[in-house]
Amino acid sequence: MARLVIVSNRVPDPAERGQRAGGLVVSLAEALAPGSLWFGWSGKTAAHTSRAAKQVEAGGLSYATIDLGETDYRAFYLGFSNGSLWPLFHMMPGNAVFDRGDYAIYREVNQAFAAALLPLLRPDDLIWIHDYQLLGVAAALRVAGVTNRIGFFLHIPFPAPALFELLPPATALLEAMLTHDVIGFQTTQDRGHFLGALSSRLGLAASDGVVIHRNRKINCVVTPVGIDADSFTVMATNIARRIDARRMIESLAGRALMLGVDRLDYTKGLPERFDAYRRFLQDYPEHRRQISFLQIAAPSREEVERYRTLREELNHKTGSINGAYSDFDWVPLRYMTRTAARSTVAGLYRIARIGLVTPLRDGMNLVAKEYVAAQNPADPGVLILSRFAGAAAGMPEAILVNPYDIDAVAEAIAAALVMPQEERQARHAALLERVQDVSAAAYCRAFTAWLAGTGG
Ligand code: F6P
């Protein structure tokens, strides 16, 4: 069997695998057969970007990482990846900045990734590259003569063509993407946007997701990311019995818990969510003291200015909501800007009567799927989900909302709070089946089959 080589910007710390496993590790677990290689950034900066990777073996896998030079980190990671591509791909051009110098370094860093990976490659390796930080790695590998099959999966949305075209190097990025053999998207809408951009910028037509470019065939496929629902259910059930969870339940004093869990990112719609909660408190005084909203927001990309202003904005809104509505014995909003352990969060999901997942735009959003998997089927909570998360395409039994419409989100909170048990059970049963079907394992199987040339 061919070896699988995963290439991603962040590489999990082998020492932490399993305990603090992040999203990508969980999603890829099924594909990582012993002997696979995982290549990417170490998460560390140095005086210069490394020319050669450092390799360690752990748990049957090889991990190879490079450090980024400080200047490269700023221009590649903070600059073009997270200052230009991230906001634009999430269709929020107002948050995007463009700098030609940053883009030049983005290309150079992608070339440095390719150069350090090259000596580690074997002729029949299947190479699977992940996400927007690495759009140009395959093109650099091709220039170096690599003929292996290379796949790319975009974890974030692909924007509508009219927005994609705002990127000065739009054409160059499409050309670079077309050096892969397979390009995977989370939803049919994302793939449609990409094919639309190919048509408007390069005049290319696709048939059944297949594009022919420079005598090469590229499969554009939809393979949504999922979770391992059964193991998440077990973790949530076990943790919900432990002491932290009992403390949480005691502190609620019989009130319903509404829970939000996100990275502190402007795409997650947190200011709008807080405004909607305030609107709910204002418009539904009869429900006021029946609910407690806990928002966990893990700090992220704090060196990007827009993330700092977001943090200040949320601090301000929290103070304002609690100042206006708190009582001697009740605080309406608990807001935590710390990273909580995955297992703790699993237990909290199970306790929560409402899961509030309202990003303004999101590639998939695995919180929505984890929330469903964590529920007690006999007495499940209600998922309120943004229509603009990729997950919404496959979760029609959630209460779907437009996160910009704060009145509608306030209404949804009130509806969730009083939803009868039979309706909660019926919605949850349907959602759980979908989350179990569109699993992490199914994602890996579908994408690797396309990569190996046996998909479809
Ligand atoms: O899914 C989008 C993504 O950028 C991943 O690539 C990344 O691992 C995660 O969000 C967290 O972002 P960052 O790596 O910038 O901390």
Q: Are 244 and 279 in contact (CB under 8 A)?
A: no
CA 263–ligand 1 middle distance (angstroms): 9
> If you measure from the C-alpha of residue 153 to the centroid of ligand 1, how many angstroms do you get, rounded to a whole number?
13
Ligand 1 atom nearest the C-alpha of 130 is 6
How far is the centre of ligand 1, averaged over its atoms, from the C-alpha of 380 (Å)?
Answer: 30
What is the pLDDT, as a whole number, of residue 197? 98
pLDDT(242) > 90: no
Burial class (CB in 10 A: 0-12, 13-18, 19+), 285: exposed
Per annotation, catalytic residue among 90, 130, 155, 180: 155
* pLDDT higher than threshold 90 for residue 318: yes
Q: Is 80 exceeded by the pLDDT of residue 445? A: yes
State the catalytic residue, choosing from 67, 125, 228, 362: 362
CA of 324 to the centre of ligand 1 (A): 35
Ligand 1 and 300: CB distance under 6 A: yes
243 band by pLDDT with thresholds 50, 70 and 90: confident
Question: Which pLDDT does position 143 carry in this prediction?
Answer: 98
Q: What is the pLDDT of residues 138-183, one digit of tens each?
A: 999 999 999 999 999 999 999 999 999 999 999 999 999 999 999 9
State the pLDDT confidence band at 13, using cuts at 50, 70 and 90: confident
Active site residue 90: no
Confirm or reject: Cβ of 446 under 6 Å from ligand 1: no
**pLDDT tens sequence across 172-217:** 999 999 999 999 999 999 999 999 999 999 999 999 999 999 999 9
For the cut 90, the answer to whether the pLDDT of residue 26 exceeds it is no
Using CA positions, which residue lies closest to atom 6 of ligand 1?
Answer: 131
Q: Is 131 assigned a catalytic role?
A: no
Residue 257 has pLDDT above 90, yes or no: yes
| Ligand 1 touching residue 301 (CB < 6 A) | yes
Task: Write down the pLDDT at residue 87.
Answer: 98
Give the residue-averaged pLDDT of 340-368: 96
- Does ligand 1 have an atom closer than 6 angstroms to the CB of 10? yes
Query: CB atoms < 10 A from the CB of 426, how many?
Result: 13
Crossing angle of helices 305-325/270-283, nearest 10°?
Answer: 10
Long-range residue pairs from 54-62, CB within 8 A, at least 24 positions apart, any chain: 55/120, 56/14, 58/14, 58/15, 58/17, 59/14, 59/17, 60/34, 60/35, 61/14, 61/32, 61/34, 61/35, 61/36, 61/37, 62/35, 62/36, 62/37, 62/38
Q: Which atom of ligand 1 is nearest to the CA of 86?
A: 4
- d(CA 112, CA 46) in angstroms, rounded, equals 14
Please give the number of the atom of ligand 1 that sits closest to the Cα of 263.
11
Ligand 1: residue of 9, 42, 301 to mutate (most ligand atoms within 8 A of CB) is: 9
| Ligand 1 and 255: CB distance under 6 A | no
C-alpha 219 to ligand 1 mean position (Å): 25
418 versus 456: which is more confidently predicted? 418
pLDDT of residue 23: 75
CB of 131 closer than 6 A to ligand 1? yes
- Residue 229: partners with Cβ closer than 8 Å, 6 or more residues away: 369, 372, 373, 432, 435, 436, 439
- Residue 132 CA, closest ligand 1 atom number: 6
Q: Which of 17-31, 236-250, 269-283, 347-361 has the lowest mean pLDDT?
A: 17-31
Decide: 339 in ligand 1 pocket, CB within 6 A. no
Q: How far is the CA of 82 from the centre of ligand 1 (A)?
A: 9
Nearest atom, ligand 1, residue 82 CA: 15
High-pLDDT (> 70) share of the chain, %: 98
Judge whether residue 20 has pLDDT over 50.
no
pLDDT at 22 over 70: no
